Structure 1
Amino acid sequence: MRATALLLALLSGAAPATAGTVVSDVVSDVSVTIYRDPGRREGAMNHAWPGGYALISETRTLRIPAGESVIRFVGVADGMLPETAIVSGLPSGVREKNRDARLISPAGLVDAYLKRRVTLQRTNRQTGQVREQDAIIQAGPNGGVLVQTDEGVEALGCSGLPERMLYDGVPDDLSARPTLSVLTTNDRAVEVTVQLSYLAQGFDWSASYVADMADGGATLGLFAWLTVANGGGQGFADASLQVVAGQPNRDRARRGPPTGPPPALHLQCWPMDITSTYPRWSLTPPPPAPPPPPPAPMMAMAEESIVVTAQRRTALMAAPVAISAEQEELGDLKLYRVPIRVTVAAKGQKQVAMLNQPSAKFARRYVASVSDGDEAPRPMALVLRAKNDKASGLGLPLPAGGVAVFEPVAGRNLLAGEDQLADRAIGEEVEIGLGDSPDVQWTLKRIGEDKRRQDWRISVTNARPVAVDAEFVVPYELADRPAGVERGKGGWLLKARVAANGTATLTYRVKLDR
């Protein structure tokens, strides 16, 4: 009977209600607004351990009796920050809030019944008969479980025969799902619709760009997915989904969300035997329990993956996108709203179309910094540059994210390079790095020096069948400024146009501080 009662409680999704307890486990409406990991900037999102957070707003309908009541909001996010929770709609407000972090699990039950009596169902080693035996849990759940019976002290699961523990019931402080409890008082029974809003850790989002070169690399068809990740074990079905681009000012939480014991039960045994094999007077204190295993990382996301083949990408660029996130203003931030209801699955990802700019004009540039030059030929880095304005075929805020660039070769689209794109506002320069090019190489040689200056020469070779534009960043103060030199990011910018299958030479003078 005890085992049956526990099983029914587990399947019901909530601990049995007590007098004065209202259990709310039905959500009629939910909104999820996800903010990026504030420490990530333009780096790649960690899908297995999202470092951002979300504002979650739920609508629930409750029947509250007269008098003092404990309302248990079952099914909140695992990473809920209880100090941020706001409950509106209760006639008398909230007197107290508690985040119930202890969840029903094998380890959670052992932890709740520590130093308490349970029933062991085990097989007799001599007869093979299954029998029940009273026991007291003396240690656990980390580093093994020690139980004491009338036969002595033993480590659970070390007899080599089937063993399991039966419990009288589910303790009141254990929940099947993460729960927020609030205390309220009413002078009469009422039915109310309340709004529960809170911040929760364990979410993140990123833009994922796919770019197809066209017109010999002069334009890009730029398409972006909005990718959201939920690292927690609680999903949100049929939710209104929004994401926020930018960095709102938010202090780090002084502590992480409350946690109970780990869900998995790790049993440890002595190498050779069990302690009850020996007479009680020979028992010595057991050796220190081994340290608990490190917490397992969040389970790999059950991704709702979207595989974009060359044919599908071409179709996406050519055809209008039926569903795309809509951009709105949120003060100085940008909010992207998904126009349909979606499910933000537990330990999952979701992708929604974000933007589609079919003909963005990008210039190809080959760049190098002369601070690490050499007389031996070195390849230059190829970058694609554009100004984020309507004249260039862009003119939209571009959130940070990864970008994969494909180039047509013999009728097939091949990967030309990948890069991380930083947040770019309208009017800013957009730059995508595609890696080093073996076709365009350069050398650096010192050709003169005196007490006040050094003379240097840059030689560039172009093995491509078309002319290329080369740029060199000089991070030193120039003694003389050649014609056309300008200040760039990181230093003075020297430019050269290199003919197809040709060479070019640049010279400059560096001022010495002596």
Structure 2
Amino acid sequence: MKRRLALITTAAFVPLLAAAGFADTVVTPADRGGLALTVTQNDTALVRDHRTATFERGSQVLVVEGVARAARDGSAMLSGGGLVVHEQGFLPGGVDAAGLLAASVGRDVTVVWRDAVGAEREERARVVAAGQPPLFQVAGKVVAGEPARILYDSLPPELRTAPAYRAAVTVEQGGKRGVELSYLTSGLSWQADYVAELTPAGDKLSLSAWATLVNVSGADFPAAKLQLLAGDVGTVANDAPPRAMRMEKVLMAATMAPTRETAGGVYHLYTVAQPVSLGDGERKQVALVAPQNLTVSRQLILDPLPGQAWRDRAADPEPQHPQAVLRLKNGNEPLPSGTIRVFQRARDGGATFLGEDQLGDVPAGAEARVTLGRAFDVTARRVQTDFNRVSAEITEAQWQVRLANAGDTPAQVVVRESLGGDWLVLDESAPHKKENAFTATWTVEVPARGEQVLSYRVRVKG
């Protein structure tokens, strides 16, 4: 993939430094003195990579190896005492034959020619052009042709086998010193995963929260100080294509929950107590918040009719099974958005998986709704028993809902209707509740192995 450099291009950057006689100062991951990651939930992370480098006095090229392949151009910041950065950029890494030949224009190589009978001869040549066929200068003449092989003395400085950061710097005084390279990268993210265990009675649950870390950035991050930023962080869309997920195993690796603080007044920032190592292609979990016990209530909620059912005669819809919903009251810890999986411990100690749902951000003390699936034993059959068009804008419709419960325990069903426009309930067999400007609900108790019938007539304008 072709990458754009933040402030420079390889073609302009490297020859300029070479002509000035600048020497490369290369630091590798072995020179790392510390590493810190701040990871968001939307595929963006801040990397702070501290290295120790030995500089010569004056101008030179600093190369930092072992950066993320997905590092974002324009985000790099290099700091260090007595160091001034003039130009900088990321080199993506990766070498192929065509790229190596193109980068060697103007350099001497050894070409191997093969004649018609297969005999080979070598000669030194200068690469003039990397077209098809390439052009070489040999003994004062320009030769066009495809040699059998090309032998290179070394890689050109602008080509590297692995991603790197490269900068033209001036150093006031030579010697060893620490530098810190900070940059943003894609391919590092986290999400919250919750494990909820209901009591046998079903009125309380124990909630455990994990942060699932994913690294497909193209770099390893050993023993990193880790912070997790919860919230919707604004970013500019990246033009890089999506990368294939290369994650298979999940490692449970945490003994202490992170500490939490606010960041920028709008986010929650979790600092993990212990360093975390995250290799490229790895997926790992760390504890997010301490387990907490929450109070819950169960509901069965019947989906609304389509809006047209209140504005025209309608055929009877197919029987429905209401949604099984848990309403939980959050405690003192905010819950970042993520996936919640609900289990219930039976009286014999065994656990049953009840379902999973996507949980939105839940502030401290707020209520959350978790949909587990459809109720197996409870069935609802709706019938439109009357319809009247009062005027061009006003209609009246009467519906009957027959609720059947084949289970061994009573069921409470909430029937929801999304009415839209201006509406008025004219008649009903049970009182309704106005949930909002467009929605009415009825709560019906259905006995075990029994039925209950609900009916209502509604006038709708608009």
TM-score category, normalised to shorter length: 0.7 to 0.9
Residue 495 (structure 1) aligned with residue 443 (structure 2):
yes
| Residue 344 of structure 1, CA deviation | 1.9
Could you say which structure has the greater relative contact order, defined with CA pairs below 8 angstroms and 6 or more residues apart?
1
| Residue 81 of structure 1, CA deviation | 2.3
Q: What residue is the counterpart of 1:27 in the other structure? A: 32
Distance 1:328 1:69 in 2: 41
Q: Determine if contact 1:486/1:494 at 8 Å carries over to the other structure.
A: no
Q: What residue is the counterpart of 1:101 in the other structure? A: 92
Q: What residue is the counterpart of 1:282 in the other structure? A: none
Distance 1:448 1:435 in 2: 32
Q: What residue is the counterpart of 1:311 in the other structure? A: none
Distance 1:490 1:204 in 2: 38
1:462 to 401, 405, 408: 405
| Residue 251 of structure 1, CA deviation | 3.4
Distance 2:117 2:275 in 1: 61
Q: What residue is the counterpart of 2:425 in the other structure? A: 480
| Residue 119 of structure 1, CA deviation | 4.9
Q: What residue is the counterpart of 2:387 in the other structure? A: 449
Structure 1 unaligned blocks of 5 or more: 1-16, 38-51, 157-162, 257-294, 308-315, 390-394
Structure 2 unaligned blocks of 5 or more: 1-17, 137-141, 310-315
Q: What residue is the counterpart of 1:364 in the other structure? A: 298
| Residue 110 of structure 1, CA deviation | 4.6
How does 1:235-246 map onto structure 2 within 5 Å?
235-246=220-231
Give the fraction of aligned pairs with identical amino acids, expressed as a percent: 27
Q: Say what the alpha-carbon RMSD is for the aligned residues.
A: 3.4
How does 1:194-205 map onto structure 2 within 5 Å?
194-205=179-190
How does 1:414-425 map onto structure 2 within 5 Å?
414-425=352-363
AA aligned to 1:446 is: Q
Q: Determine if contact 2:188/2:215 at 8 Å carries over to the other structure.
A: yes
Q: Determine if contact 1:379/1:442 at 8 Å carries over to the other structure.
A: yes
Judging by fraction of residues, say which structure has more strand. Answer: 2
| Residue 103 of structure 1, CA deviation | 3.5
When normalised by structure 2's length, the TM-score is 0.78
| Residue 212 of structure 1, CA deviation | 2.2
| Cα deviations by residue, 1:318-345 (Å, 9 ceiling, x for unpaired) | xxx7332222221221111111011121
How does 1:269-418 map onto structure 2 within 5 Å?
298=243, 300-306=245-251, 322-330=255-263, 331-372=265-306, 374-389=316-331, 395-408=332-345, 411-418=349-356
Q: Determine if contact 2:22/2:59 at 8 Å carries over to the other structure.
A: no
Distance 2:97 2:243 in 1: 18
Q: What residue is the counterpart of 1:264 in the other structure? A: none
| Residue 359 of structure 1, CA deviation | 3.0
Distance 1:86 1:188 in 2: 21
Distance change (3 Å), C-alpha of 1:417 and 1:332: same
When normalised by structure 1's length, the TM-score is 0.71
| Cα deviations by residue, 1:420-445 (Å, 9 ceiling, x for unpaired) | 11111123321111111221110111
Distance 2:460 2:295 in 1: 41
Q: Determine if contact 1:327/1:335 at 8 Å carries over to the other structure.
A: yes
| Residue 55 of structure 1, CA deviation | 0.7
Distance change (3 Å), C-alpha of 1:466 and 1:489: farther
Residue 439 (structure 1) aligned with residue 410 (structure 2):
no
Q: Determine if contact 2:93/2:164 at 8 Å carries over to the other structure.
A: no
Q: What residue is the counterpart of 1:222 in the other structure? A: 207
| Residue 231 of structure 1, CA deviation | 1.0
Q: What residue is the counterpart of 1:513 in the other structure? A: 461
Residue 176 (structure 1) aligned with residue 124 (structure 2):
no
Q: What residue is the counterpart of 1:76 in the other structure? A: 67
- Count of residue pairs brought into register by the alignment: 415
How does 1:100-139 map onto structure 2 within 5 Å?
100-105=91-96, 108-113=99-104, 119=110
SS at match of 1:457: strand
| Residue 76 of structure 1, CA deviation | 1.8
Distance 1:305 1:352 in 2: 10
AA aligned to 1:469 is: Q
SS at match of 1:430: strand
Q: What residue is the counterpart of 1:9 in the other structure? A: none
Distance 1:117 1:298 in 2: 37
SS at match of 1:28: strand
AA aligned to 2:327 is: R
AA aligned to 2:382 is: L
Q: What residue is the counterpart of 2:81 in the other structure? A: 90
AA aligned to 1:347 is: G
